[in-house]
Amino acid sequence: MPSRTRGKLHLSKLYSFSCFRPDVLQSDSQHSLQGPGFSRVVYCNQPRLHRKKPFKYPTNSISTTKYNIITFLPKAIFEQFRRVANLYFLMAAILSLTPVSPFQPISMIAPLAFVVGLSMAKEALEDWRRFMQDMEVNSRKINMHKGDGVFSYKAWQKIRVGDVVKVEKDQFFPADLLLLSSSYDDGICYVETMNLDGETNLKVKRSLEVTLPLDDDAAFKDFTGTIRCEDPNPTLYTFVGNFEYERQVYALDPNQILLRDSKLRNTTYVYGVVIFTGHDTKVMQNSTKSPSKRSTIERKLDSIIYVLFTLLVLISLISSIGFAVKIKYGMPDWWYMRPEASTSMYNPEKPETAGILHLITALILYGYLIPISLYVSIEVVKVLQASFINKDLLMFDEESGNPAQARTSNLNEDLGQVDTILSDKTGTLTCNQMDFLKCSIAGTAYGVGSSEVEIAAAKQLASDFNGQNSGASTPMHNRPQLSMEIRRSNLGDSEIELESIATPKSEKQQNHMIKGFSFVDSRLMDGNWLKEPDANVILLFFRILAVCHTAIPEPNETGSFNYEAESPDEASFLVAAREFGFEFCKRTQSSVFVQERYSSSGDFVQREFKILNLLEFSSKRKRMSVIVQDEDGQILLMCKGADSIILDRLSKTGRLYEAETRRHLTEYGEAGLRTLAVAYKKLEDLEYHAWNSEFQKAKTTLGSDREAVLERVSDMIEKDLILVGATAVEDKLQKGVPQCIDKLAQAGLKIWVLTGDKMETAINIGFACSLLRQGMKQIQITTMDTDILARDANKVVKENILMQITNGSQMVKLEKDPHAAFALIIDGRTLEYALEDDMKHLFLSLAVGCASVICCRVSPKQKALVTRLVKEGTGKTTLAIGDGANDVGMIQEADIGVGISGVEGMQAVMASDFSISQFRFLERLLVVHGHWCYKRVAQMVGLLFLLQEYCLWAHPVLLRSICWIFGSVGL
């Protein structure tokens, strides 16, 4: 393969400061990693060295099975006899082998063998499926270096630590790799981590600059190097190590690491060296076995068995004592009971022995009190019910082709007993497909379309208006936040205003054909923005949308472009910029090209923006900035991010539109839209070069404080900004979600939504999906702002939250209207205090008294903690539903876990007990299948146990009692 031509300006000046490759070359003594947790040594391109002690690294073969050929029998038998019923039946089968058994042993052993064998066969089948999945993964092919610069395809399971592999586009990485080079000139590549963290957005990885010449197969003929790094651990986002190459040492960070099960996207190929294999990889270190869950009825049956076994022993003891007494005192007088050679069973001289032997006989004889056929019937019903769920066409999603799936049959009947549903929002209630709906530019709001929240609010207002006409009234504080147009209207002309905010049907149909773009406003479309008073600001706004990103354009069959972006929000911005006439069309190693169209004539002007630096978005920074040089030589910093961050970084002269923009941001949030603020800054050459010099030093810093230094340097340039405007995108609700939630609420189920959105957005989404309803009283618990010293602030905040919880509880208790409903809204920061041991029970008491609960700004860990609190605190059946990796903890913690098989990977599905493709199918899963199975199982537990099985037990007892009566009277 020929070497690639490299430009003088690498893309290293384009991507995140956290991704910059250090150029520092220092001695090994200064950067050697020593001590516990940093003992990994990898000899690159020398895999045989790791097969000897002290290394002995594992192979790349993985196994997720529960059993193997050797351990299946002992493990499976142990699992079966952990059940109280099976343990009892085993004891009865052993007793049936004794000479005093009134039955043939086969009559006791056969049913037990059938029940245990059936369950073991089911376990074996499920484990066989896992084994076949493992074999499929282990047998995948990868191009691996076998020596002398020659690569050949081998199975994943043959990969060893130190091997050099070549991964091609759309292939999964077979192990954790150190990125050496890629098809791009400066060694970047794009990675999809959906199978790791549930995120569909692409991430940028980059190699060290020193390994860029390793750009073809022949270059690896004499390649060697040594990696010293951390030991295997489950942390996905950290990596500490050094790379010793050509007698120099280079620091490694997570941006050079390609993790197993992530996929290479938008990059032709990459070369990498294997660091961790098999179960040492980070994805396998993160894999956890799903907890063993048992249904409520099964747990209750265990309790019943304890009671019945106690009753059985009591009856057998009474019978045995009576038998011993009769043998001692009555048998000598019975002429017909005088055998010549009496056995121990009928020896008047040893009545104690006779009683003990009779106890064994009685335990077996009365053993029908605990019916084994009941368990057989329940297992059959559960298996059949699971097949009904899998084949239900009314839960089959034609769009995705995904059916509902019962991943276990142990919990079917619990679906009919669910008391509380805990749900994720994004991707579960919503589609996770962003549509550009509105924007604010130069203090002017654009976009006349209505979000689903605004439509719901309009219906609410119309309902309130009709209610007032009929004499009913609704307190104003119970109404949802309305859009600007609705709030400005009065009740007298509300119908006119509601009609005016609706989007024209023709325009709406036209815009819905463009994925990611639902904007409707003729003032900006077709070049009409040139007639606006602040056309120059609008021009800058569109350019920021088209330039400030990390996306890659891909031509499609229509002659336009599809965008592979790091987030759906960013993709919607690019689609919007294209529709406004600013089409991002090309990215090179050093520039971004935008085709600009200033009028409806259709004439395009292609402009080049040289990328000098890009400071990437992160959850901590909550913003991203790109430093570019336009065709006139002007250096600009373009920035977009959370409004709370951007507005605090404005200069005194850059706040011209701040008041109007803040008002628009509030209105967009109330309309359930996701917002970002947009700003810019002009940089002088001297200012930029002085900052860039500091930045170059910071990016070559080694040590634990490197990120802090980079953050500090970035703050130096991301200040004194000039506000341009704000964007508002909508994440639409999934089809049928409001109707589903409404019916579940009518059935008495409590619904909790755990989301990362801010409170205003979550509240209005709640109204849109019927989680919050007309007349429902809201209880909002938030953390107060305090300027008290840090040591006292924590105590003051806790006392304030405790007071809010107490007041809310009193409000619920003192409510006299039996039909009144309450909704609790709490944010993540407040939830940290509410989940502490001294407050969590008070919080739970308030929450269970509310019909709906919304937790905003919550982390994945908080989702799991809330689920555990509800499950353990109420003692009732909980169901958690989610679609991404951040929902796994919540799904596994709940009594029943339901995964959405959507676009956020398979982690939620793999961790779940049931999977569906859309939230609306949850209604049928619970109401139809759950109720049917619960009803059938309850009938068997009740009728079969109390009637059928009781009769089977009563027959021999009555017969034996009659014999005793006849014997006693001498007949």
Q: pLDDT tens for residues 584-618?
A: 998 876 789 999 988 656 678 899 999 998 887 76
Length of the chain counted residue by residue: 971
Confidence of residue 789 (pLDDT cuts 50, 70, 90): very low
The single-letter code of the amino acid at 681 is: K
Separation CA 569–CA 728 (nearest Å):
9
Determine which helix (DSSP H) or strand (DSSP E) holds 250, and give its type and residue range: strand 248-252
Kindly tell me if the per-residue pLDDT of 944 is higher than 80: no
Query: Is 757 within any annotated ligand binding site?
Result: yes
Tell me, what's the pLDDT at 963?
Answer: 44
Separation CA 503–CA 519 (nearest Å):
10
Give the three-class secondary structure for 750: strand
- What domains can be seen in the chain, in order of their start residue? 40-60+159-286 (2.70.150.10), 403-432+734-926 (3.40.50.1000), 528-684+720-730 (3.40.1110.10)
Summarised one tens digit per residue, pLDDT across range 402-438 is 888 887 777 888 888 899 999 987 778 877 778 899 9
Query: Is 838 within any annotated ligand binding site?
Result: no
What does the block give as tokens for 174? Answer: 């077979």
Q: What would you measure as the largest C-alpha separation in the chain, in angstroms?
A: 127
Separation CA 22–CA 25 (nearest Å):
9
Tell me, what's the pLDDT at 13?
Answer: 36
Summarised one tens digit per residue, pLDDT across range 283-304 is 888 665 666 677 777 777 777 7
Please tell me which residue, 295 or 625, carries the higher pLDDT value. 625
Summarised one tens digit per residue, pLDDT across range 646-663 is 999 999 999 999 999 999
Query: Is 640 within any annotated ligand binding site?
Result: yes
The three state secondary structure string of 483-528 is CHHHHHCCHHHHHHHHHHCCCCHHHHHHHHCCCCECCCCCCCHHHH
Question: Between β-strands 750-754 and 418-424, what pairing exists: parallel, antiparallel or unpaired?
Answer: parallel
Determine contact, residues 554/564, Cβ cutoff 8 Å. yes
Q: DSSP class of residue 402?
A: B
Pick from 353, 333, 165, 155: which is nearest to 258 by CA? 165
Tell me, what's the pLDDT at 684?
Answer: 92
Please tell me which residue, 34 or 808, carries the higher pLDDT value. 808
Tell me, what's the pLDDT at 318?
Answer: 87
* Rg over CA atoms, the chain: 35
Tell me, what's the pLDDT at 130?
Answer: 77
User: What mean pLDDT comes out for the span 814-838?
Assistant: 86
Tell me, what's the pLDDT at 860?
Answer: 78
What does the block give as tokens for 122? Answer: 């089911």
Query: Is 857 within any annotated ligand binding site?
Result: yes
Please tell me which residue, 294 or 149, carries the higher pLDDT value. 149
Tell me, what's the pLDDT at 14?
Answer: 39
Determine contact, residues 421/751, Cβ cutoff 8 Å. yes
Distances in whole angstroms, Cα of residue 427 to Cα of each of 95, 195, 743: 57, 15, 21
Average pLDDT, whole number, for the chain? Answer: 79
The single-letter code of the amino acid at 924 is: R
Summarised one tens digit per residue, pLDDT across range 443-500 is 999 998 888 777 766 766 666 556 555 444 333 334 444 433 433 333 333 333 333 3
Please list, in sequence order, all residues whose beta carbon lies within 8 angstroms of the beta carbon of residue 529, skipping any fewer than 6 positions away: 523, 535, 538, 539, 580
Query: Is 253 within any annotated ligand binding site?
Result: no
How far is Cα of residue 284 from the mean position of the Cα atoms in its chain? 17
Confidence of residue 700 (pLDDT cuts 50, 70, 90): low
Half-sphere exposure of 514 (CA within 13 A, CB side): 24
Beta bridge mates, 245: 248
Tell me what percent of the residues of the chain surpass a pLDDT of 90: 23
Kindly tell me if the per-residue pLDDT of 943 is higher than 70: no
Kindly tell me if the per-residue pLDDT of 754 is higher than 70: yes
User: What mean pLDDT comes out for the span 348-368?
Assistant: 78
Confidence of residue 511 (pLDDT cuts 50, 70, 90): very low
Return the top range by mean pLDDT from 50-64, 155-169, 806-820, 898-912: 155-169
Tell me, what's the pLDDT at 342?
Answer: 60
Q: Is the dihedral of CA 538, 541, 547, 553 positive or negative?
A: negative
Please list, in sequence order, all residues whose beta carbon lies within 8 angstroms of the beta carbon of residue 477, skipping any fewer than 6 positions away: 778
What end-to-end distance do the CA atoms of the chain give, in Å? Answer: 106
Tell me, what's the pLDDT at 883?
Answer: 83
User: What mean pLDDT comes out for the span 806-825?
Assistant: 87
Confidence of residue 22 (pLDDT cuts 50, 70, 90): very low
The single-letter code of the amino acid at 402 is: N
Q: DSSP class of residue 601?
A: T
Confidence of residue 949 (pLDDT cuts 50, 70, 90): very low
Tell me, what's the pLDDT at 771?
Answer: 84
Confidence of residue 33 (pLDDT cuts 50, 70, 90): very low
Question: Between β-strands 444-446 and 750-754, what pairing exists: parallel, antiparallel or unpaired?
Answer: unpaired
Place of tokens 């989940």: 835
Cβ atoms within 10 Å, residue 199: 17
Query: Is 756 within any annotated ligand binding site?
Result: yes
Query: Is 755 within any annotated ligand binding site?
Result: yes
Phi, psi of 173 (to 5 degrees): -75, 130
**Active centre residues (catalytic):** 424
Query: Is 298 within any annotated ligand binding site?
Result: no
Separation CA 863–CA 754 (nearest Å):
7
Tell me, what's the pLDDT at 970?
Answer: 36
Please list, in sequence order, all residues whose beta carbon lies within 8 angstroms of the beta carbon of residue 198, skipping any fewer than 6 positions away: 883, 884, 885, 886, 887, 904, 905, 907, 908
Separation CA 547–CA 554 (nearest Å):
16
Query: Is 617 within any annotated ligand binding site?
Result: yes
Separation CA 183–CA 185 (nearest Å):
6
Kindly tell me if the per-residue pLDDT of 732 is higher than 70: yes
Pick from 408, 387, 391: which is nearest to 298 by CA? 408
Query: Is 886 within any annotated ligand binding site?
Result: yes
What does the block give as tokens for 314? Answer: 């009591």
Query: Is 732 within any annotated ligand binding site?
Result: no
Query: Is 129 within any annotated ligand binding site?
Result: no
Q: DSSP alpha helices (H): ranges in 326-433?
A: 351-365, 372-390
Separation CA 695–CA 498 (nearest Å):
53
Angle at 144 between CA 143 and CA 145, to 5 degrees: 135
Give the three-class secondary structure for 256: helix
Kindly tell me if the per-residue pLDDT of 502 is higher than 70: no
Query: Is 143 within any annotated ligand binding site?
Result: no
Separation CA 892–CA 334 (nearest Å):
67
Summarised one tens digit per residue, pLDDT across range 262-273 is 889 888 899 999
